[in-house]
Amino acid sequence: MKNITLVVPVHNEEKNIREFFKETVKTSERLGPDYELSVLFVDDGSRDNSVNILESLSREYDNVGYLELSRNFGKEAALSAGVDNLDCDAAIILDADLQHPLYYIPQFVRKWEQGYDIVATKRRSIKKQPLARRLGSFLFYRILNTISEFKMEPGTTDFRLLDRKVIDALKDFKEKNRMVRGLIDWMGYKKVFIEFDAPKRNDGVAGYSYKKLFRLAFNSLISFSLFPLRIAGYLGLLISTTFGALLMFMIVDKLLFMQFGFTPLSFVVVANAIFCGIILSSLGLVALYIGHIHEEVVDRPLYLVRRQKKFNKNRRSVVLPEAAALLMK
Ligand code: UDP
Ligand code: MG
């Protein structure tokens, strides 16, 4: 019997929780007796009746648990709280508003049984989303994938199954500014994508404002790439070399050809530009050090092991003496 836990962040979802729970019961039946499905709700500072509903659900059903955060920390923090408290063979992260249809879960589990560590999803249709949001998402992935060494697939969602080893690895990530989905993508492991159609939110309004989304996107860009830090340095190098070359040209012209008649002021202006370039390059140099500090502070694991085979210490070594005997002959 394998344990699968659904991790569900909840922020003002009083109208959706029971509906969501009904779906989990159906899913559990579809999965059959080989799997034990439980649900871990994480209440992220709801101001409506959500917590009371979670409390009564958890009293009614053994397979329902919940965490109540002390205030609203945001979905990423709520997910992390959920992940930190998991003890199961696999977990599935999904939204409480039924935009991540539980219908796909048996498919996730089949992929997992085939040996995939992460079953991730891609939205097939995002037509219902406003243009600004689609544009924002497009730009985010474009920029991130250009400037960062690691690639994130556009159109993916948080709706994912994670094997136990991925969950355990995720617990080791200590960084505060995080995008859980980005971290999971960063990790590697054996991953497969499933496409799905996201329906409209079941009830209520989306809690993610443009401001929050922008902050999330900006934070991810900064935490997955040091390129923004280096921009000043590159600009500085460009400016000082260009104007350095110009100054050389002006000096040569002044001393030998007298073609252009550069005024003393023009020399001052160009020299000044060179100094600006030098200052910017020094900023870039400082930024390189800050980048190192950033990496140390974030303290992301240096590597993750997917599988290992240990030595069998008790096995009698036969090869070495035989080889030695051969050599003695
Ligand atoms: N959520 C949360 N904390 C927040 C905002 C949202 O835990 O501050 C939860 C919310 O209850 C839902 C999921 O995160 O289960 C996705 O939120 P939402 O539907 O508002 O976002 P969208 O569908 O636009 O991504
Ligand atoms: Mg939603």
Query: 95-110, pLDDT tens digit by residue?
Result: 999 989 999 999 999 9
**Are 74 and 28 members of one domain?**
yes
Task: Judge whether residue 324 has pLDDT over 90.
Answer: no
Residues 306 and 293 both lie in one domain? no
- Nearest listed ligand to the Cα of residue 94: 1
Residues 218 and 233 in one domain: no
Examine the pLDDT at 242 and tell me if it is beyond 90: yes
Here the CATH number for the domain that contains residue 183 is 3.90.550.10
Quick one: average pLDDT of 272-292?
92
Phi, then psi, of 195 in degrees rounded to 5: -90, 140
Mean pLDDT score, 6-30: 94
Give the ligand with the smallest distance to the CA of 211: 1
Task: Tell which one of 10, 13, 95 to mutate to probe ligand 1, the residue whose CB is within 8 A of the most ligand atoms.
Answer: 95
User: Does residue 73 sit in the same domain as residue 166?
Assistant: yes
Same domain, 128 and 185: yes
Judged by its nearest atom, the ligand closest to the C-alpha of residue 79 is 1
Q: Average of pLDDT values for 148-153?
A: 80
CA distances from 10 to 164, 181, 188 (A): 23, 17, 28
What span, in angstroms and rounded, lies between the C-alpha atoms of 198 and 251?
66
Task: Check whether residue 209 and residue 63 sit in a common domain.
Answer: yes
Could you identify the atom of ligand 1 that is nearest to the CA of residue 44? Answer: 7
- At residue 26, the pLDDT reads 93
Q: Are residues 174 and 309 in the same domain?
A: yes
Ligand 1 atom 24: the closest Cα is on which residue? 206
User: Which has more pLDDT, 316 or 258?
Assistant: 258
Return the ligand 1 atom nearest residue 42 CA. Answer: 7
- 309 band by pLDDT with thresholds 50, 70 and 90: confident
Q: Is the pLDDT of residue 316 over 80?
A: no
**For a substitution probing ligand 1, which of 11, 14, 205, 214 has the most ligand atoms within 8 Å of its CB?**
11
pLDDT over 90 at 312, yes or no: no
| From 53, 203, 208, mutation site for ligand 1 pocket: most ligand atoms within 8 A of C-beta | 208
Q: Which residues contact 204 (CB under 8 A, 6 or more apart)?
A: 12, 13, 15, 16, 97
Q: What is the CA(157)–ligand 2 centre distance, in A?
A: 11
Output the pLDDT for position 127. 58
pLDDT at 94 exceeding the cut of 90: yes
For the entire predicted model, the pTM comes to 0.76
Number of independent structural domains in the chain = 2
Residue 121 is predicted with a pLDDT of 93
End-to-end CA distance of the chain: 57
- Tell me the range of 49-58, 140-149, 191-200, 254-263 where mean pLDDT is highest: 49-58
Same domain, 155 and 281: no
Shared domain check, 184 and 231: no
Mean pLDDT (whole number) for 126-150: 79
Per-residue pLDDT of 39-72, as tens digits, reads 999 999 999 999 999 999 999 999 999 999 999 9
Structural domain span for residue 173: 2-225+301-327
How many CA within 13 A on the CB side of residue 41? 32
| Residue whose structure tokens are 């979802």 | 13
Mutate to test the pocket of ligand 1, among 47, 71, 97 (most ligand atoms within 8 A of CB): 97
Among protein residues, the one whose CA lies closest to atom 12 of ligand 1: 95
Name which residue leads in pLDDT, 194 or 131.
Answer: 194
Domain co-membership, 72 together with 208: yes
Instruction: Indicate whether 320 pLDDT > 80.
Output: no
| pLDDT in the model for residue 189 | 92
At 279, the amino acid letter reads I
Nearest CA to ligand 1 atom 22: 206
Same domain, 287 and 206: no
Which is the closest atom of ligand 1 to the Cα of 212?
A: 8
Q: In this model, does residue 314 exceed pLDDT 80? A: no
pLDDT at 319: 63
Helix axes 264-298, 227-252, angle to 10 degrees: 160
List pocket residues of ligand 1, CB cut-off 6 Å. 9-11, 13, 44, 72, 74-75, 78, 95-97, 99, 201, 206-208
Whether residue 129 sits in one domain with residue 15: yes
Q: List the residue whose alpha carbon is closest to atom 2 of ligand 1.
A: 75
In tens, the pLDDT along 107-132 reads: 999 999 999 999 999 888 655 677 88
* pLDDT for the residue numbered 207: 67
Residue 36 CA to ligand 1 centre (angstroms): 26
Q: Is residue 247 predicted with pLDDT exceeding 90?
A: yes
* Ligand 1 centroid – CA 96 distance (Å): 8
Q: What is the pLDDT of residue 223?
A: 77
Predicted pLDDT of residue 119: 96
